[in-house]
Structure formats: structure tokens, C-alpha cells
Amino acid sequence: MNIEQTLQEAILQAIKDLYGADVEVSSITLQKTKREFTGHYTLVTFPLLRISRKKPEETGQDIGTYLVKNSEVVTQFNVIKGFLNLTIAPAVWVRLLEDIDGKPDYGFVSVADDAPLFMVEYSSPNTNKPLHLGHVRNNLLGHALSEVLKANGKRVVKTNLVNDRGIHICKSMLAWNLWGNGETPASSGKKGDHLVGDYYVLFDQKYKEEQSALRGKGLSKEEAEAASPLMEQTREMLRDWEAGDRETVALWEKMNGWVYEGFDETYRQLGVSFDKIYHESDTYLPGKEEVMRGLREGLFYQKEDGSVWADLSSDGLDHKLLLRSDGTSVYMTQDIGTAKLRFDDYPIDTMIYVVGNEQNYHFQVLSILLDRLGFEFGKGLVHFSYGMVELPDGKMKSREGTVVDADDLMAEMIETAREISAELGKLDDATPEEVEAIARMVGLGALKYFILKVDPKKNMTFNPRESIDFNGNTGPFIQYTHARVRSILRKAEEQGMTLPENLDPTVPISVKEEGLVQLLSEFGTVVAQAGSEYNVSLIGNYVYDLAKEFNQYYHEYPILREENASLRDFRLLLCRNVARTIKRGMKLFGIDVPERM
């Protein structure tokens, strides 16, 4: 049953009988009653005053009196200025809990074969370095958004665009060529992505040394950069690669192969996956073809040095480089080609790019260029823009090797979870295997929840130890609550307590229990809002509120020791659905919850 819908229908009938008017359901604005007032739902009367021709308080009194007299749902009401607070009958909450319990997928929408197709791009790493904390937020947001869209009945294709070519990739390749002495992941004992990342850092170190030497000879900063032998060698390597030079391509394939093996291991650990992976090495040529077509059709223009540009001044922007003077492509060229290939491959209804807010301009331009090139999907692209993630001591820089490596971070989180759990005595009765499984579950759950509970649009600071606090708005607190509820249910089963098919509708439930059922009933609304607003943090806030409310309830009311059998049945059914909803909400974040802890 849907209480809000039932209330809306009753209110529409009240308005018709009281004032002789038929109104649209959109005029009926219901809100959850604020904690400081008595009631469950609040009707805002102001939109109805033109019909009632009465003051807000009088209108509220009219409708409240009617509902108590004519509706089985409403038992009492109070009016605060223009707000009518309605109290719902206890029996309604009992029936609603039964209804929720009878639907294992409560709150989720089934995915139909003809449902809209959403493609979500996330991760998009460069093959010159391992994944770091910034990538972790990106991957977790992309994965959670995909799961939330599926829960809203959308078909979803999770995709990754690997930045496997370009000047930055050649920096790692050149450094390995010059100073690597044939080192491999096997000979060094390093993951392949870490090994290649070390050479990216080494290049930057050597480049700075070179620049310092050139400046020491009296060259200005600009002159030193222009005269850099290392950068010239890197540009030459990129030209060789684009020309298909066999030796350069072989080195590129070898080093990228090392990186992919490393990435796959990190993705498995993080619990994210993809349905389709695109590579810029495959998409830049189609992008160049589209740019050249645009040039031929007069959509773009060419400078004397041979570079190709787009004039975006008519859109309130500047001029955008699309092809360099040496014919090599830029990111924008590649994204044009990737978009074309994707829409050729899939009947995409909505394309979502999960990319940080420092790229807002890039995706604004991409949408304009695709539309200018005649692609119908150009204007409909969605940039899921999110804020940066930093550490308490500041920003990270890949070139300088000051990033927080994703693998190291996950290992640290698991170890920290193990230490804190042991300190609190939460693993005293666990086997070594259970200790390891729970430490991994809690550590990774803490990482994921701490990042995903924040509004994606906001910048955030990640504090590893704070995220594993077993109190407060954290993953471990929610996981521990789930384990506590499951423990209650196991003990009930061990004591031979079985739930009847139907609850006693006259059971004397408390206001706290009514509030918990109301909160459970809102799960679907929150999932729908998270999907429509592309804001997965709403799920985290909801699950935390549910866990917090249950913990307060657990300390105030007996469950297994309750002597009234009908009331005990209600409370056990309430427990079952709190645990089920926590588990399903956390699953949207890719977080597992333990059965015991």
C-alpha cells in the first residue's frame, strides 16, 4: 500500500465535498511532519486557499476534521498556521510493514527490455600511472550511480575510456627506454601499473634537472622549455607512435600490458567492473576524421601552422584547438571519436560522463562540437561533475609522486579496520578466516561509504581513521547495526520463535515503531530521487538515518524479551526489514554487510 497516495485521494475527496471543487493531485503537497510537531504527514494548505476562500488555519481545520470523520487512515490532526499535521492510524503502519515484508525488492523498479539505456563512463585512467585516491572517488561514484540507475528500472552499460596514448604516456615510455635497464614487473616484484608510474615520476625528475641546467646557462623559463631535449624526444616518440613505427608500438603494447594487469587487480579489490572498455588508441582516428570533415564543411578553421580550431565565440566561449600543427590529436578530438563509436555501438538514450569538476568546460565544449557536427545526441550529454578529494595535509600531484595510491590506501584501510576491531573486542570470538573477511569488509566498506556519503558536487577531505569510527555516520556503524539486527533474528530462530503469516492489526505499537515503518516506506522514494538527481549520497544519508533510528529503538524497547507475543512478532518483522533495507541500500554502494561482528 502507498500511504501518501491514499492520503492524497482522501484529501481530493475532502476538497470536492467541502468546497465543491475538483483539483489536480499536483495541488496536494504532502511533507513528512517535522520532529517537533505531532503527526506523520503534513499538508501545505496555501495552494488550496483560492478554492476554500478561507484562512490557512480554517482550511486546515476543515480538511483535518473531514479526514478524521471519513477516512480510516487518519486518526487525529493539528494545525500550525497553514500546515495541517496528520496522524496515521497504527493499524495502517502494521499493514504497511506486512506489505514491505512481502516485497523482497521493495523500493526497486524492475528493468524492462525496452527501458531507457543509460551509458555511464567512469574510471578513465591514464596508462602512465596507477590508480590513486581521486580515481577511487571516480570509480565508486560511477559504480554507485550505475547501480542506482538500475534500481530505478534503467538499462545500464558501464563503460571505461582508457587514456592509453598521448604525450604523457610517451614520457613513461621514454624514461623506461633511457633508464630502465630492461626492468619488468617480474624482475622488480612491482605491480605493472606501479612500475610504469615510477618511470613517469622519474621523467619529471630528470626533466626538472634538465630545466635547471638550461636555466643555469642563462636561458629564460620559456627558452629552457622550448630547448628541452627530453620533451623533443617525447614528441618524436608520439609522432613515431602515430606513424605506426614498429619498435615504438611494441614498447607501447608491452608497457600498457603491464598497466592493464595492475588495473584489473585494483578494480577487483575495489569491487568495480565494466561492460565495455574503449581505448583512446582506437578512438582518436575516428575523431580526427570527424574534425577534418568539420573543416571541409566550414564548421572549423585552420591556422597557417596547420592546426585546426573551432570558433566558439557565438556560444560565449573562446577558440578551441582540435588538431595540433603536427597533426596529432588532443583530448577533445578523441572524445568526439569515442562518442561517435559509442552511439554506433549502442542505442543510447542518455550518455553520462563521470568526470571531475575541473573538466566542466571540456564537456560544455564537447556537447557544442558534437551538436555542430550534426550528432543528435550532442545536446543530451550529461556531465556528472564531482568535486575533488584531498587528504588532511593537502592536494596530490602525480608527476611528483605525492599521490595516495589506491592499492596502498585499500591495504591501509583493511589493516586499520583489523586494528580498531581488535581494540574494541569485536573480533574476539572470530576465527582467523572470519577476522580477515570482516577486516576486509569493514575496511573497504568504510572507504566506500565515507566517500559516497558526501554530495558528489562538493570537494571532500578523506580521513582514513575517522572513516572507521564505529560510532557516527560511517560505514562500520551501519555494518555493525546490520550485524546486531541479524544477531537478534538468529537468537529468535534458536529460541523457536516463528512469525505468523499475518500480524495482529490491533497490536499496540509505539510512535518510535511507527516512525521506523514510515522510514522503511521511504526507501523507494529516496532511490528514485537519487536516480533522478544523480546524487548517490542520498542513499548513504538514508541508510545512516535508518541505522541510527534502529539503534535508538533497540536501546529503548525489548524485542526477544517482549512478553506480548503479537508485539514481539511485529518487532521481529520490523527487524527483518530494517536489516534487509540496510543490506540493499549498502549494496548500491558496492558495500557488503556482515551477518555477525
Mean pLDDT confidence for 558-571: 95
Calculate the alpha carbon distances from 233 to 177, 213, 241, 243, 250 in Å: 11, 18, 12, 15, 17
Calculate the alpha carbon distances from 273 to 125, 142, 144, 159, 357 in Å: 14, 10, 11, 9, 23
Expressed in angstroms, the distance from the first to the final Cα of the chain is 35
* Per-residue model confidence (pLDDT) at position 464: 79
Q: What percent of the chain has pLDDT over 70?
A: 98
How far is residue 397 CA from its own chain's centroid?
Answer: 24
What 3 state SS string does 106-127 have?
CCCECCCCCCCEEEEECCCCEC
Cell digits of residue 60: 486546515
Average pLDDT, the chain: 93
Query: pLDDT band for position 53 (50/70/90)?
Result: very high
* Per-residue model confidence (pLDDT) at position 493: 94
Give the integer Cα–Cα distance in Å for 184 and 192: 8
Give the integer Cα–Cα distance in Å for 77 and 460: 43
pLDDT at 379 over 70: yes
Topology of domain 122-390, per CATH?
Rossmann fold (3.40.50)
Alpha helices in 152-279 (DSSP H): 167-179, 185-188, 192-216, 221-226, 229-242, 246-270
The alpha carbons of the chain give a radius of gyration, in whole angstroms, of 30
pLDDT at 121 over 60: yes
Q: What percent of the chain has pLDDT over 90?
A: 82
Give the integer Cα–Cα distance in Å for 269 and 566: 45
Helix (H, G, I), strand (E, B) or coil at 176: helix
User: Which H helix or E strand runs over 285?
Assistant: helix 280-296
Give the integer Cα–Cα distance in Å for 6 and 96: 12
Mean pLDDT confidence for 174-198: 96
Give the start-to-end residue ranges of the domains of the chain.
3-88, 122-390, 406-587
* DSSP secondary structure letters along 14-37: HHHHHH-----GGG--EEEPPTTS
Mean pLDDT confidence for 98-107: 94
Provide the β-strand partners of residue 382: 352
Give the integer Cα–Cα distance in Å for 128 and 183: 16
Class of the CATH domain delimited by 406-587: mainly alpha
Helix (H, G, I), strand (E, B) or coil at 328: coil
* Per-residue model confidence (pLDDT) at position 402: 54
Q: Are 281 and 166 in contact (CB under 8 A)?
A: no
Mean pLDDT confidence for 207-217: 93
* Per-residue model confidence (pLDDT) at position 400: 47
User: Which H helix or E strand runs over 511?
Assistant: helix 511-521
Give the integer Cα–Cα distance in Å for 55 and 29: 17
Query: pLDDT band for position 178 (50/70/90)?
Result: very high
Angle at 371 between CA 367 and CA 376, to 5 degrees: 110
Provide the β-strand partners of residue 278: 161
Contact partners, residue 278, CB within 8 Å, separation at least 6: 159, 160, 161, 162, 338, 341, 342
Which range, of 189-203, 400-414, 461-475, averages the lowest pLDDT? 400-414
pLDDT digits (tens, 9 = 90+) for 244-263: 999 999 999 999 999 999 99
pLDDT at 395 over 60: no
Comparing C-alpha atoms, which of 280, 277, 248 is closest to residue 263? 277
Give the integer Cα–Cα distance in Å for 140 and 267: 10
What 3 state SS string does 443-495 have?
HHHHHHHHHHCCCCCCCEECCHHHHCCCCCCCHHHHHHHHHHHHHHHHHHHHC
| DSSP-derived secondary structure letter, 390 | E
* Per-residue model confidence (pLDDT) at position 398: 43
Topology of domain 3-88, per CATH?
Gyrase A; domain 2 (3.30.1360)
Cell digits of residue 52: 476554500
pLDDT at 352 over 60: yes
Query: pLDDT band for position 393 (50/70/90)?
Result: low
Mean pLDDT confidence for 301-317: 95
pLDDT at 394 over 70: no
Query: pLDDT band for position 27 (50/70/90)?
Result: confident
pLDDT at 424 over 80: no
Helix (H, G, I), strand (E, B) or coil at 501: coil
Mean pLDDT confidence for 65-80: 95
Query: pLDDT band for position 399 (50/70/90)?
Result: very low
Q: Which residue has the cell 573538466?
A: 359
* Per-residue model confidence (pLDDT) at position 425: 74
Query: pLDDT band for position 391 (50/70/90)?
Result: confident
Give the integer Cα–Cα distance in Å for 445 and 385: 23
